[in-house]
Amino acid sequence: MERNEQSRIVEALVLAAPEPISAERLADLVPDCSAGLARDLVTGLNESYSKEDRAFEIWEVAGGFQIRTRAEFSGVLQQLRRLRPLRLSQAALETLSIVAYKQPVTRAEIEDVRGVEAGPVLKTLLERRLVRMAGHRDVPGRPMLYATTKRFLEVFGLGSAKDLPRLRELEELAREQRLAEAEDHAESGGEGPAAGAAGTAAPDVDASADPGAADGEGSGSKPEADE
């Protein structure tokens, strides 16, 4: 089969897949294709999209490939949403960060870092499929272990947990988002909770919708969420 036809098949599969599709899976589905060739074909598609100045690109996230809209379109794509996105509270974001950087981690270890009870927040993160139960620690009492999920990687646009940003980068992102929320609050005439108030949402983290060019939501628009 000609490379151009293989490339078209890869593009169709990535576009139609309900979740990130791996290079190995692409190799299984594309005639005369290997995982290495599948990666090369994806690279070629992205180069083509860039040359044609397309509004989307293929990202490698959660161990697979997924088509997502470019960051520059985040503003207009937000206007497409009819419902207010769910949000992660500051407490949920802090808890999620602890799980992400220390996983697998127990509830007691999370509470030791935050200094407050973590049960309700963990329940929310489990319901959002951002955190999962990852077995038990082999110590007296066998406490439950928690770790991040594949959905977490998709939401944050990460290929694996190794791609997590430095803590300082997360803090800068949180600060930028709080400033943006303060501006939105001022423009709306003070309706809703002001940034910095109790219960205020922290950085936008979309845990509610699958990103992708087809439905207009990509990693380009920073995800939003809510405890």
Do 7 and 109 lie in one domain? The reply is no
Query: 38 and 45 in contact (C-beta within 8 Å)?
Result: no
What does the alpha-carbon distance between residue 215 and residue 54 come to, in Å, rounded to a whole number?
Answer: 16
In-domain check, residue 227: no
Give the list of residues 6+ apart from residue 120 with CB closer than 8 angstroms, or none.
none
Boundary of a domain, candidates 46, 61, 78: 78
Which of 108 and 206 is assigned the larger pLDDT? Answer: 108
2-17, pLDDT tens digit by residue? 888 888 999 999 988 8
Within 52-166, residue ranges assigned H as helices are: 74-80, 90-102, 107-114, 119-127, 150-156
59-114, pLDDT tens digit by residue? 988 889 998 888 788 777 777 665 455 477 888 888 988 898 888 999 999 999 88
Q: 71: domain CATH number?
A: 1.10.10.10
In-domain check, residue 221: no
Residue spans of beta strands (DSSP E) within the chain: 56-61, 64-69, 105-106, 131-136, 144-148
Do 120 and 199 lie in one domain? The reply is yes
Do 11 and 113 lie in one domain? The reply is no
Nearest to 142 by CA among 170, 106, 116: 106
Do 87 and 58 lie in one domain? The reply is no
What does the alpha-carbon distance between residue 46 and residue 62 come to, in Å, rounded to a whole number?
Answer: 18
DSSP class of residue 89?
Answer: B
Boundary of a domain, candidates 44, 78, 112: 78
Do 129 and 39 lie in one domain? The reply is no
What is the rounded average pLDDT of the residues 124-141? 89
Boundary of a domain, candidates 60, 78, 96: 78
- What is the reported pLDDT for 108? 92
Phi then psi for residue 206, to 5 deg, are -80, 110
- What is the reported pLDDT for 224? 45
Given a cut of 80, is residue 36 above it in pLDDT?
yes
Q: Which two tokens stand for residue 42?
A: 């994806």
Given a cut of 70, is residue 188 above it in pLDDT?
no
Instruction: From residue 207, give the alpha-carbon distance in Å to each of 106, 129, 132, 151, 185.
Output: 23, 8, 14, 8, 22
Helical axes 119-127 vs 107-114, angle rounded to 10°:
120
Return the number of other C-beta atoms located less than 10 Å from residue 3's C-beta.
13
Do 88 and 72 lie in one domain? The reply is no
Question: Domain range spanning residue 54?
Answer: 3-78
Q: Percentage of the chain surpassing pLDDT 70?
A: 69
- What is the reported pLDDT for 72? 82
What is the rounded average pLDDT of the residues 23-45? 92
Do 69 and 113 lie in one domain? The reply is no
If one counts the domains in the chain, the total is: 2
Do 47 and 101 lie in one domain? The reply is no
Average per-residue pLDDT for the chain: 75
What does the alpha-carbon distance between residue 98 and residue 71 come to, in Å, rounded to a whole number?
Answer: 27
pTM here?
0.47
Do 123 and 158 lie in one domain? The reply is yes
